[in-house]
A and B are shown apart, each in its own frame.
Chain A
Amino acid sequence: MLILPMVVFAGLPFIVDSESSYLVFFLFVTFINITIVQGWNLVGGYAGQVSLGQHAFFGLGAYITAITWLRGLTGYFDPLAMILSGFGAAILAIGVGIPLLSKLRGDYFALGTLGLGEILRVIFTQGGTLTGGSVGLLLPSRVYESMKPYYFISLGLAVFATIAIYFIIKSHIGKALIATRDDEVAAEASGIHTLKYKVLAFSISAFLTGLGGSLQAYYLFHIHPAGFFSLKWALYPILMSIMGGAGTILGPVIGAFFLTGVFELVNIWLPEGHPIFSGGLIVVVMLFLPNGLIRLRLKRVIGKKGERRGDK
């Protein structure tokens, strides 16, 4: 069932003109979103720890890519730079995650990650020549040749993220994370080292977000604190993940497709109202669809079964 869309996505740039096609651009944006949404999904959806600071990892990944390139350590589309970006973000997540996640109260984690993103924005705005201050860094954009590599790398990242999350959830790590989310005290009592698993989930989520930031850096060629440490990058993954169905494998993918589409449309028709609309959408989704699109069908099936058995 999933092979068909993969074949279509892989073949698309050969059918339409990838340089002028809006569809290719749209899918590129969607695939980056899927990558970071899956990251949030692991820590927020499966482990139940709401991170409000994914923009810290997105921005950090982008800056690592840009700085290593400008210093001549890596090149254009260098896998080394992308992996470094991911690991840089993951290491930051471990450093911040251990103290913040060792508390039983999840609120401290949410607040702390929010503070983290803001600290990073300040640091990178004040970073002097290394980060280019508030103007940011300009990468040599003359190397740009075609949209195709961007499209395929973003597709690869999205597939990688989804498959990675799938296998993590199938393994004992996933079971431990879900147990922690559902009842942390009970999980701890059953011998699960919850802190270890929470930090692991957080660092994997940071790794994926850093990869997304790295690719976005290669695409924009201009890395500046306001754009890459924008709260947007903290907001979108949460929104898309919950809209589609946090704590499921395919829910976030559906959410990313749906909301990227909605945001692109709003951006075209109502550019000024865009943030008002997305803010309002979160409220409406949380009030009326707190379990996500993917669970709509599930719920109906369960509901029918329940009626038949005479449950109230």
Chain B
Amino acid sequence: MSDFLSFHTLSQILINGLLFGTMYGIAAIGVSLIFGTMQIIFIAQGSLIILAAYISFWLFLLLFIDPFLSILIIVPIFMLLGGGLYQVLFRKVAYAGKNPSLLIAFGFMIMLENLISLLWTPNTRAIKTSYTAYGIEMLGLQVSFTRLVAFVLAMLATVVVTFFLKRTLMGKAVRAASEDLGAATMIGIGTHWVNSITFSIGIGLAGLAGVATAMTFPFDPYFGFIFSLKALIAVAFGGIGSVWGALVGGILLGVIESLGFFFLSGVWADGISYVVFLLVLMLKPEGLFSGFKRIA
């Protein structure tokens, strides 16, 4: 047993889980933010991530733009797209209760998923750059260079989003609206405007997560739905509406899956994360870390 599971193997599994989990985390932040202000589950997040991955794939293949550079193109486009999506799809039903917006997001996801598969075929794709196979040795552990960069990018993005929410006037408006919409409206915060900003940030993060995914993992059009589910699991772990909670929840999910893949076969590992998800929803729906959160 000790041969089979040495300390070294275990740390390797944990670090892989951590790096993979940050992808879930960054997807979860977007979902969590949108949920915070609009109270809707934006289930199409994962499909938008995959869309970004395919765009980055095209930019690399057709225009020879390095995936790292394509972040500078894709993230601004996705932020605009996010604001636009809100205006076109969700503005009208923003006050019509949760079900219409949930169903619109669901329909949008199905549409997007199949549009992607029509445009890029359902085959699995991956970006292969000169540095994709490059690994770094850290404390005796093998760490893939691209995954490490993706991890750093995710951390940076989280810091930027936190800074925006805590320190800028716009961010404060977003937080105010997510805490008490009625009171925020009364002091002159336009809710459609706040929702647009939240969507911009959320979808912008989806763009970043998409490029990071394209760099590090093979992907196909139907991976988006799984990604959304994983993001929702991460949000459920971290507690809805919390930025760092979502990131930590994503990392936790990545580690659980990584352990699952090692000890069980692949498909069962997927099942494990859903079972943990259902258990969390049933037993502790306010999130695993809610005990530490100060009461707002």
Query: A residues engaging B (CB < 8 A)?
Result: 44, 48, 50, 52, 96, 99-100, 103, 105-108, 110-112, 114-116, 118-119, 122-123, 125-126, 231, 235, 238, 242, 272-273, 275-276, 278-283, 286-287, 290
Contacts and interface: CB of A to CB of B under 8 A. Distances in A.
Question: How many interface residues does chain B have, given as a range?
Answer: 35 or more
Interface in B16-53: 39, 41
B264 to A, nearest CB: 10
Interface string B89-128: 1001100101110111011111111110010000000000
Secondary structure type dominating chain A contacts: helix
B73 to A, nearest CB: 26
B141 interface: no
Contacts of A112: 278, 281-282
Contacts of B111: 275-276, 279-280, 283
Contacts of A273: 114, 118
* 6 tightest A-B CB contacts, nearest first: A282-B107, A279-B110, A279-B111, A99-B282, A122-B271, A275-B114
B270 interface: yes
24 contacts: A99-B282, A107-B41, A115-B229, A115-B281, A118-B274, A122-B274, A126-B265, A126-B271, A231-B225, A235-B106, A273-B114, A275-B110, A275-B114, A276-B115, A279-B108, A279-B111, A280-B111, A282-B103, A282-B104, A283-B104, A286-B93, A286-B100, A286-B103, A287-B92
B234 to A, nearest CB: 12
A50 B108 contact: no
Given A115-B278, A276-B114, A279-B112, 19 more contacts: A99-B282, A107-B41, A110-B102, A115-B281, A118-B274, A119-B271, A122-B267, A125-B267, A231-B110, A231-B225, A276-B110, A276-B115, A276-B118, A279-B113, A280-B107, A282-B110, A283-B108, A286-B100, A286-B104
Contacts of A281: 107
A272 B39 CA distance: 34
Interface in B150-182: none
Contacts of B278: 96, 112, 115-116, 119
Contacts of A106: 98
Contact of A290 (B96, B114, B229, B232): B96
B107 to A, nearest CB: 3
A278 B113 CA distance: 12
Contacts of A105: 285
A44 B100 CA distance: 12
Contact of B100 (A272, A278, A280, A290): A290
B133 interface: no
A70 B263 CA distance: 33
Contacts of B277: 111, 115
B69 interface: no
A283 B89 contact: yes
A123 B229 CA distance: 17
Given A118-B229, A286-B107, A272 B118 contact: yes
B262 interface: no
Contacts of A283: 89, 104, 107-108, 111
A238 to B, nearest CB: 7
A279 B271 contact: no
B236 interface: yes
A287 B93 CA distance: 7
A48 to B, nearest CB: 8
Contacts of B265: 126
A194 to B, nearest CB: 17
